[in-house]
Chains A and B, each alone.
Chain A
Amino acid sequence: MSIISSLESVGEYALLMKRVLTLPDRISQFLKEFLKGVYTLGVNSIWIVVIISFFIGAVIVLQIALNIDSPMLPRFTVGVVSREIILLEFSSTIMCLILSGKVGSNIASEIGTMRITEQVDALEIMGVNSANYLILPKISAFVAFMPVLVIFSMFMGLVGGYIICMVLGTPSVETYVYGIQAFFTESFVWYSILKSMLFGFIIASVAAFFGYTARGGALEVGEASTRSVVTNSILILATDLVFTQLAMG
């Protein structure tokens, strides 16, 4: 993709967001779509978040326990380090990278299919602001539900670590529990939630952009979906770097 076409895409994205971020034509219809979005994008993502967080949490504890097995470091360090990794990066950044695949492709393919089957045109012909009607409820629903997913992810990550300590016994469950409570900074939780809400906006809006601007047939919808996942992944990582420096640096 050339620099000019990338800049054009940024411009198109900005113009689309200008149409999206306006007052809905009918608040009742917006709320209906918002609740639908909460269910399809948020509630339906809980299981994948729970399963992945549990196993990754367990693996993080296992890796740290194996790699910092030193008499110079107390064993509760495993709990402290695991907690910081899970709270600061895993439950927000890594989880959002995974969700960009699930939620991002869902949004891009749904709106893309509506575009190529003329359903978006049908909305426009009725006098509806199709961008606002289709995209705003999805962005709002996903951003609003993001804290729930992050908290689930944090909890299940720590539970995964707890279970691995119970099974392997090193460190002991008591040491691990002491570790995850030691030197706890509450603001890290808020930082993580805030960061994930920003990522939620990026995932939903970028995926919607690729779906809304899809042209052609089923093949192009698939391409739009893939491009949305790739672009979202890069944007999440780049934003993470900037956000971390701004918030923690």
Chain B
Amino acid sequence: MIEVRNLVKEFDGKMVLDHIDATFQKGVVNIIIGKSGSGKTVLLKCLVGLTPPTSGRILYEGRDLTLMRSGEVRRLRREIGMLFQGAALFDSRTVLENVLFPLDMFSRKNRRERRKRAEFCLERVDMLHAANLLPSEISGGMKKRAAIARAIVLNPKYLFCDEPNSGLDPKTSQLIDELISDITIDFDITTIVVSHDMNSVINIGDHVIFLNEGIKEWEGSKSQVMDADNEKLNDFVFASDLFRKIKEAEEIISEEEKE
């Protein structure tokens, strides 16, 4: 479980995150949504310690990230897996070498066991067939899957995903969403996904947080998103023609049922 308490982040006096409080539970997919520039990625970067917050606390099972020394932060990060927006695979290494990298750096297993573990993770994301290809030789969706394999190879307790569906077609997006959801349940980890894709929210969002201009506007489950009584959230959700029509259809059905 990760808890965020009164988190503030300012850049040159401009408030980007305004006193955020949130709790991210274990074993569920937590999704942070909001339009571009709402502070989602900054919040994610604060959570993993890539951007230091101006004030506030970030607690990993009670351990405060903001008070940790650099060595402690590095040790905590070995419990973290992260899927970056652009996958961030190492260009000069093959897919298998990318997945092996965290094991080579931190695992005490021998070479054969490390390779077996890396191949298991690649198999889990259906990427074993592309193990010997370079990142430049595979598609965007395959890169994301390989990055997920790299993120889970050390059995992390926490998984962070920054816009996992950006630049992907709807079918591949759905596959990535399902993969994130399955991994969260299988490994019983705390997963936090930053997205502006409402399809992801409907597919996998067990717990949803809506950010608007750095302020936490709304929090709830995916089933409550469509019926939420929040104007800003409704503006965001129903900006999509598809979701507007679903809402209208639901209203018509509900009126017909009343009649």
Write the A107-119 contact mask toward B (1 if CB under 8 angstroms, else 0): 0000001100111
Contact residue among B80, B91, B105 (Cβ-Cβ distance under 8 Å from A125): B80
Contact residue among B77, B88, B104 (Cβ-Cβ distance under 8 Å from A119): B88
Interface size, chain B (Cβ < 8 Å)? 24
A29 and B104 in contact, given A122-B82, A127-B78 (Cβ under 8 angstroms):
yes
A127 and B106 in contact, given A118-B86, A122-B84 (Cβ under 8 angstroms):
yes
Whether a CB of chain B sits under 8 angstroms from the CB of A126 is yes
Contact B101 A126 (CB under 8 A): yes
A125 and B48 in contact, given A25-B105, A29-B104, A119-B90 (Cβ under 8 angstroms):
yes
Whether a CB of chain A sits under 8 angstroms from the CB of B258 is no
Return chain A residues, CB-CB under 8 Å to B154. Answer: 126
Whether a CB of chain A sits under 8 angstroms from the CB of B221 is no
User: Most chain-B CB neighbours within 10 Å: which of A25, A29, A126?
Assistant: A126
Contact residue among B86, B104, B106 (Cβ-Cβ distance under 8 Å from A117): B86
Contact residue among A117, A121, A126 (Cβ-Cβ distance under 8 Å from B102): A126
- Would you list which residues of chain B between 48 and 105 have a CB under 8 Å from chain A? 48, 50, 74-78, 80-82, 84-86, 88-91, 101-102, 104-105
Return chain A residues, CB-CB under 8 Å to B50. Answer: 121, 124-125
Query: Shortest Cβ distance from A160 into chain B, in angstroms?
Result: 36
Return chain A residues, CB-CB under 8 Å to B105. Answer: 25-26, 29, 126-128
Return chain A residues, CB-CB under 8 Å to B91. Answer: 113-114, 117, 119
In the complex, what residue of chain A is closest to B151 when comparing beta carbons?
A125
Query: Shortest Cβ distance from A16 into chain B, in angstroms?
Result: 13
The CA-CA distance from A118 to B83 in the complex, in Å, is: 10
The CA-CA distance from A113 to B86 in the complex, in Å, is: 13
Return chain A residues, CB-CB under 8 Å to B102. Answer: 126
Contact A125 B104 (CB under 8 A): no
Contact residue among A25, A26, A118 (Cβ-Cβ distance under 8 Å from B88): A118
A26 and B104 in contact, given A119-B88, A119-B90 (Cβ under 8 angstroms):
yes
Query: Shortest Cβ distance from A18 into chain B, in angstroms?
Result: 11
Whether a CB of chain B sits under 8 angstroms from the CB of A231 is no
Query: Shortest Cβ distance from B92 into chain A, in angstroms?
Result: 9
A125 and B74 in contact, given A119-B88, A119-B90 (Cβ under 8 angstroms):
no
Contact A121 B88 (CB under 8 A): yes
